[in-house]
Amino acid sequence: MRGFLAAVILAAAATLAGGCGPHGPAVRPEAQGLRVVCAVDDAVVLIDERPVGTAAMVRERDLPILPGHHRVEVRAERFFTRYADVEIAPGARVRLAITLRPRLEVP
């Protein structure tokens, strides 16, 4: 029994290590990404209700994302919140441009 358990543990370790290179998990070339571009630097970007950074932080790089349907939200003080639904295909790189409209301040 002890030999069988050791073999199972070794097989599991080999399976887990199989996808790793010298610098961590191997990145598949067909990995998909989402780039959100907004001119309001301090706007907060959320994907599927999770904050991913400010517009200034995320506009210059593709965010890793799983294929499928996602909801993007961009919000900032003194601006109306914008929502966008995006469908990410396997291997796709999507660029989403969001324009925020300022709220009118009433004195």
What domains appear along the chain, each with residue ranges and CATH number?
A: 28-98 (2.60.40.1120)
Look up residue 74 and give its two tokens. 């961009």
Residue 70: per-residue pLDDT: 97
Tokens of residue 51, six digits: 């904050």
pLDDT digits (tens, 9 = 90+) for 51-97: 999 999 999 899 999 999 999 999 999 999 999 999 999 999 999 99
Per-residue model confidence (pLDDT) at position 98 = 96
SS3 sequence of the chain? CHHHHHHHHHHHHHHHHHCEECCEECCCCCCCEEEEEECCCCCEEEECCEEEEEHHHHCCCCEECCCEEEEEEEECCCECCEEEEEEECCCCEEEEEECCCECCCCC
Helix, coil or strand: residue 41: coil
Q: pTM of the predicted model, to two decimals? A: 0.68
Q: Report the DSSP beta bridge partners of residue 53.
A: 45
Check: CB of residue 34 under 8 Å from CB of residue 63.
yes
